[in-house]
Structure 1
Amino acid sequence: MTDDAYLFLADTTPGSDLPGTPVSLTGELECLQTPAVQAWLDAHETDATSPALCIVPPEQTGMIPDGVERLPVPLTEEELERVRRAGATDPVAVVEEELLSYRDSEEGRDALLHKALAAGVPAHRIVELSGVDPTALPTAPRV
């Protein structure tokens, strides 16, 4: 796993599965204004508003198709959270919001942890969002 997020140009032909998150859904990212990113975009004859310009957080670099040119970009913690939320599926995004809210409460802890695991939220994200000790995570989601 890398510490950098990655920009790449996705195949946007109809019927293609779009990996990553379109940059247009993440809000303003500081890295888009850097000379390195501007030069990369110019070299590909595109700009930051292109629907083909996608980004993945460090833990999802495996989503980038083989052979696709990519550019590592640093993100602030706030930007990284926006990228992760923009790329989350609806059920995962809802549970992640609940996990963030959980930091201030102990009520319903076990049920929420099970719900997060069942929704497909990775264990490291549950720990990051909720602040729980990794050893407190249930080993299997309830169904």
Structure 2
Amino acid sequence: MTDDAYLVLQSDSATAPGVPLAAVGDLACLESPAVRAWLDAQGVTETSADLRLVPPEETAGIPEDAERLPVPLGEEELSRLRHRTAPPDVARLEEELLGYRSCTDGRDVLLARALAAGVPAHRVAELTGEDLAAVEAVTR
């Protein structure tokens, strides 16, 4: 397995790994001279139906004769790609996990603010569903 994602040009998109490039959204690597030159040399644009983006863990599925180019992706870009290549039931769970993460961001700050405002620790625990010991640990 490689650490790079790959742009792959393959005419049989029904069996090709990865997803259409357009499904992933804007990618910083598409502005690089190397990627622009490769696309020009292949005679395709970013919206070509034959152009796919393959995550690092799926590169073994790229046919030997397929035109390909390794491309570096940022953490957020790679996360979007992996989300788009996941089966629908896994993608739904990933959405729930992302929602959970966004809800828990700043958890300790919110608990500390509530305690500092005079909300009793047992009430904070009751309202948040957090363990009382976890709520009390925020002030230590």
Q: Name the TM-score class by shorter chain.
A: 0.5 to 0.7
Query: Aligned partners of 2:17, 2:57: CA distance in 1, in Å?
Result: 14
> How far 1:98 sits from its partner (Å)?
2.8
Say if 1:23 and 1:48, in contact at 8 Å, map to a contact too: yes
Structure 2 unmatched runs, 5+: 105-140
Question: Map of 1:1-143 to 2, 5 A cutoff?
Answer: 1-12=1-12, 16-103=14-101, 104=104
Tell me which amino acid in the other structure corresponds to 2:98.
Answer: L
Which one has the bigger helix percentage?
A: 2
Q: Percent identity?
A: 55
Say if 1:10 and 1:19, in contact at 8 Å, map to a contact too: no
> How far 1:49 sits from its partner (Å)?
1.1
Counterpart secondary structure, 1:71 = strand
For residues 15-70 of structure 1, what are the alpha-carbon distances to aligned partners after superposition, in whole Å with 9 as ceiling and x for unaligned? x4232110010000111111100111111111111111101111111121222121
> How far 1:102 sits from its partner (Å)?
4.8
Query: Aligned partners of 1:56, 1:88: CA distance in 2, in Å?
Result: 12
Say if 1:20 and 1:63, in contact at 8 Å, map to a contact too: no
Tell me which amino acid in the other structure corresponds to 1:5.
Answer: A
- Which aligned segments of 4 or more residues in structure 1 are displaced greater than 3 angstroms? 99-104
State the Cα RMSD in Å: 1.7
Query: Aligned partners of 2:63, 2:17: CA distance in 1, in Å?
Result: 8
Tell me which amino acid in the other structure corresponds to 2:56.
Answer: P
Tell me which amino acid in the other structure corresponds to 1:64.
Answer: I
Structure 1 unmatched runs, 5+: 105-143
Query: TM-score with structure 1 length normalisation?
Result: 0.65
Counterpart secondary structure, 2:30 = helix
Query: TM-score with structure 2 length normalisation?
Result: 0.66
Query: Aligned partners of 2:56, 2:97: CA distance in 1, in Å?
Result: 21
Query: Aligned partners of 2:93, 2:64: CA distance in 1, in Å?
Result: 31
